[in-house]
Amino acid sequence: DTAVSQTPKYLVTQMGNDKSIKCEQNLGHDTMYWYKQDSKKFLKIMFSYNNKELIINETVPNRFSPKSPDKAHLNLHINSLELGDSAVYFCASSQVGVGEQFFGPGTRLTVL
């Protein structure tokens, strides 16, 4: 069974469109994250949710809006996509108080 899954794996879209990426974890973890990885492999945290509540919201344009319908899901919606949004987006989860994070396979977003 996949511990942390993301859909879609690839997303190609035009500038100005709105898109969503879905994430689900079946590990029973309380905390979920979204990361952005650029072409140089730098990993930047975007959001962290603990039990459906937003905990960390790094400096991210408000075009990005996370939504957590329950503690097993954390979706990322992006409005008015820009060229600079092209990256690989990773979802991750962890148990509260435990530092180890489990990552999904990533979603490669390409904005044309």
Partner 1 sequence: GDSVTQMEGPVTLSEEAFLTINCTYTATGYPSLFWYVQYPGEGLQLLLKATKADDKGSNKGFEATYRKETTSFHLEKGSVQVSDSAVYFCALHNTNAGKSTFGDGTTLTVKP
Contacting residues toward partner 1, per CB under 8 A: 4, 31, 40-43, 45, 48, 50, 55-56, 90, 92, 94, 96-106
Of 14 and 39, the one with the shorter C-beta distance to partner 1 is 39
Of 14 and 42, the one with the shorter C-beta distance to partner 1 is 42
CB atoms inside a 10 Å sphere around CB 21: 23
For the CB of residue 30, give the shortest distance to partner 1 in the complex, in Å.
11
Of 2 and 80, the one with the shorter C-beta distance to partner 1 is 2
